[in-house]
């Protein structure tokens, strides 16, 4: 596994974590816990954004259409 593979895997994992945390924040009724998951989603979204930027920088023109069509943290 090379550096690009690691970046791609980490980016996908971060996107999945964002979706999970957003879902938890909406399902959980307890305000403090719901707020914590919302905050985690925002933090993980920032991580995903940084990973995406590194991928674009080091991979060159992205071959993966997901790099063009998926905004990190928007639940898509």
Domain boundaries, the chain: 3-69
What pLDDT does 74 receive? 46
Q: Using alpha carbons, list the distances in angstroms from residue 41 to 7, 18, 25.
A: 19, 5, 9
Give the DSSP letter string of 56-74.
HHHH-S---THHHH--TTS
Low-confidence ranges of the chain (pLDDT < 50): 65, 68-76
What pLDDT does 49 receive? 97
């Amino acid at each position: 596994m090379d550096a690009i593979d690691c970046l791609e895997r980490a980016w996908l994992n971060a996107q999945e974590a964002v979706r999970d945390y957003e879902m938890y924040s909406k399902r959980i009724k307890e305000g403090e816990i719901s707020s914590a998951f919302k905050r985690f989603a925002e933090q993980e979204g920032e991580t995903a954004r940084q990973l995406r930027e590194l991928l674009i920088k080091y991979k060159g023109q992205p071959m993966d259409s997901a790099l063009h069509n998926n905004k990190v943290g928007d639940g898509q």
